[in-house]
Structure 1
């Protein structure tokens, strides 16, 4: 307790905490988009519980991994070398997670483009999935993103309490944002395709990182932000066209009723 009080009086500790929270939230966007798309495949009554359980398990998993942080750091030790690159457990996990994301995003894009080829796998216009399968897939991606974020956090601070607080705050914010984000994605079908494209890009960057080709996260999130803003403009333009058509449809009717008197 004395150590925690002493740590709380250090300005650099607070700076590290704020930085870590921001980093955890930003890194959690990938996970949140995946969870939103996946839980929207479930029946309406199960979606909220699936998001809560998925993010709750993510929190537990990250806290458990923080308890073994010394072992997590060792995951960066090369196991073997191939093609001039030393592969560690971290690289293998990133490549496996990236391949899973690429496969999942490609499958979802295929279903969205050609839904008639899989009529038995659709429910409410979306690819249906089971509750247990959804939780398993969420936990699998949580593991990949958790290891990546914890290794990054270890490079920013040596204080475990700061890491724990940052993880708890970040996952809590993700839990609060998960519902609105999932509803927004469901209400805007074009956003679904954009989000799947994001997952495809994130999976590709994970594979590249695992192969030793580091892609700065800032480039990825800048591209995502730009694409999101362009899609927002498209949504506003579509809404304006719908309003214009609705008004144009009302005026002729009003004129016709007026001319009949």
Structure 2
């Protein structure tokens, strides 16, 4: 893909969208780690922590993208991405993120960097699937999206609460990317032929997108049914 191709700009938009959807917890971690800092240090802690997190995430993503050339690894990544997509829309119980606040800027920065790295595997797998081997697209997508998430996390959360369909559309997009990633594994191309595998790419991608939405909907219905039964039993 070259920069004058529409596919590049579509992929860049997908990277930013996926990062925004999957990084809500990361934004909360940043806020919680810095909440005990003095007012004049809080912004510094958030900016430094975000900067370190960006650098580590770029390195981490590059490693994952490089490894994607190993046979069968894209299949594993696609299956992981399908679970990530379903986990994005499945009902969750509210709970504390368990991140300690710090009164030292550098301790807060360390907490942010480590927590972001640990929590970013879903982002990395998804972005690697969209960007492929386009390193410039990969880096630009990350650099643009992460500061946007930190600065606009409250707005993003408000939008998601106001328009839940954003999350469902994002989960479907992840399912679609997983399907494309699955069919792009070198092992499948070697076994069945690149042309044959490519001819099924869109069908499998659409099937995976639909499967994510259906499974997520069934999980939501099951959770609602369980709650009704609990209320009825308690009464």
* TM-score, length of structure 2 as denominator length: 0.49
- Structure richer in strand, relative to its length: 1
